[in-house]
């Protein structure tokens, strides 16, 4: 039997250096790194998600980005490859879509003050997105909207934080409009917008 050894945790700086050189995306949780899996549970390289997942992410990005075009440029939308940093660098996630309007959130490789996050759910990520990530995301003082979009069926759950800091939950119904408002930014989303061209 081999001798027991203390498991080494990697530092935030080591993680960031690894990600910059890697062809595979990893999330970072308290000194541990986890390779992202695609919708089939396989290790996800940069383009490993399903067609449905990609279309949904693209649709969200398109509608949110369209609302910021030609404006001051303060609000920016990112899809899939932008990291979110939390807990003073103890956590890094790759949300599917991030919208941020904070002028001092300007690191080139990660964001810390989003007002909107969307995660596109798959079999391999749904539990983490609904529990672990939600537990982290709801602590972000700048966050006002969190969407959970199913990639296996047409279903969108969302959380909205009011001005008093309370979170409310609902399911986005057909024909309903969800208005996203962050500072001077405004966009609208519908189920039809989110699932445009998606075939199950």
By C-alpha distance, which of 124, 141, 132 is closest to 42?
124
Q: Does 9 have pLDDT greater than 90?
A: no
Name the more confident of 67 and 49: 67
Region 86-112 average pLDDT: 93
- Give me the residues paired with residue 177 across strands: none
DSSP codes of every residue in 65-77: HHHHTTS-S-SEE
Work out the mean pLDDT of the chain and round it to a whole number: 90
Quote the CA–CA distance of 44 and 162 in Å, as a whole number: 36
Quote the CA–CA distance of 20 and 43 in Å, as a whole number: 17
| Radius of gyration, CA atoms only, the chain | 17
According to the model, what pLDDT value does residue 44 have? 47
Name the more confident of 38 and 125: 125
The CATH superfamily holding the domain 50-194 is: tt1808, chain A (3.90.1570.10)
According to the model, what pLDDT value does residue 43 have? 47
The CA-based angle 193-122-33, given to 5 degrees, is 120
SS3 per-residue string spanning 75-105: CEEEECCCEEEEHHHCEEECCCEEEECCCCC
What is the domain partition of the chain in residue ranges? Answer: 50-194
**What's the whole-model pTM score?**
0.87
According to the model, what pLDDT value does residue 46 have? 39
Chain center to CA of 178? 18
Residues 147-178: tens digit of each pLDDT: 999 999 999 999 999 999 999 999 999 999 99
Quote the CA–CA distance of 89 and 170 in Å, as a whole number: 31
CB 178 within 8 Å of CB 190: yes
């Amino acid at each position: 039997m081999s001798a027991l050894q203390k498991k080494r945790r990697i530092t935030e700086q080591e993680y960031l250096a690894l990600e910059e050189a890697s062809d595979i995306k990893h999330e970072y949780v308290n000194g541990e790194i986890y390779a992202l899996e695609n919708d089939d549970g396989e290790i996800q390289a940069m383009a490993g998600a399903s067609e449905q997942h990609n279309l949904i992410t693209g649709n969200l990005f398109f509608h949110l980005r369209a609302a910021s075009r030609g404006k001051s440029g303060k609000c920016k939308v990112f899809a899939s490859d932008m990291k979110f940093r939390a807990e003073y660098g103890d956590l890094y996630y790759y949300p599917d879509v991030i919208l941020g309007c904070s002028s001092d959130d300007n690191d080139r490789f990660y964001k810390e003050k989003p007002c909107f996050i969307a995660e596109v759910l798959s079999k391999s990520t749904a539990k983490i997105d609904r529990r672990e990530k939600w537990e982290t995301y709801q602590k972000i003082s700048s966050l006002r909207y969190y969407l959970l979009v199913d990639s296996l069926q047409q279903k969108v759950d969302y959380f909205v934080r009011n001005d008093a800091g309370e979170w409310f939950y609902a399911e986005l119904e057909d024909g309903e409009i969800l208005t996203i408002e962050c500072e001077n930014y405004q966009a609208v989303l519908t189920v039809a917008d989110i699932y445009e061209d998606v075939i199950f």
